[in-house]
């Protein structure tokens, strides 16, 4: 599993935003992955998607790496942010906007506001 950990470490450090998910950003393979990818896509966040279904070592390795048992998992600037429930809460509270701004990650603020309005 050391090889998987090294690969994961390189992935989360190579891109500003990385989503480990089931499927891809254009074709998610589970509802939770679809929800997080949908938020990021709608907000115009440039992110790398890693399909854990393609690699069993990465699928288990990401859970060990973050010490978080579920997928999807979002990383921003090498830092684990959370899974579907956490990203949803952060989006609706505006916390995700704040974090992305603080870390210098571009996103569409109007789109983020529309998500909040639609869920108010």
Instruction: Report d(CA 62, CA 14) in Å as an integer.
Output: 16
Structure tokens at 98: 């704040």
Structure tokens at 8: 């994961």
Instruction: Report d(CA 87, CA 74) in Å as an integer.
Output: 8
Residue with the bigger pLDDT between 92 and 1: it is: 92
- The whole-number pLDDT of residue 2 equals 63
Confirm if 27 and 57 have CB atoms less than 8 A apart.
no
What pLDDT digit, counting tens, does each position of 35-87 carry?
Answer: 999 999 999 999 999 999 999 999 999 999 999 999 999 999 999 999 999 99
Binding residues: 30
Binding residues for [2Fe-2S] cluster: 30
What string of DSSP letters covers 37-104? HHHHHHTT---EEEEGGG-HHHHHHHHHHHT--SS-EEEETTEEEE-HHHHHHHHHHTHHHHHHHHTT
Structure tokens at 104: 């210098």
Four-residue CA torsion sign, 24, 26, 30, 35: positive
Domains and their CATH numbers in the chain: 2-118 (3.40.30.10)
- The whole-number pLDDT of residue 120 equals 84
- The whole-number pLDDT of residue 20 equals 98
Q: Which of 104, 12, 99 is nearest to 62 (CA)?
A: 12
């Amino acid at each position: 599993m050391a090889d998987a950990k090294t690969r994961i470490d390189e992935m989360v450090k190579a891109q500003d935003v990385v989503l480990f998910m089931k499927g891809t950003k254009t074709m998610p393979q589970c509802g939770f992955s679809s929800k997080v990818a949908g938020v990021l896509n709608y907000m115009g966040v440039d992110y790398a998607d890693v399909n854990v279904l393609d690699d069993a070592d990465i699928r288990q390795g990401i859970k060990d790496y973050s010490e978080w048992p579920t997928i999807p998992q979002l990383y921003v600037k090498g830092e684990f942010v959370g899974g579907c429930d956490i990203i949803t809460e952060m989006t609706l509270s505006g916390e995700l906007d704040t974090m992305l701004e603080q870390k210098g990650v571009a996103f569409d603020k109007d789109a983020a506001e529309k998500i909040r309005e639609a869920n108010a």
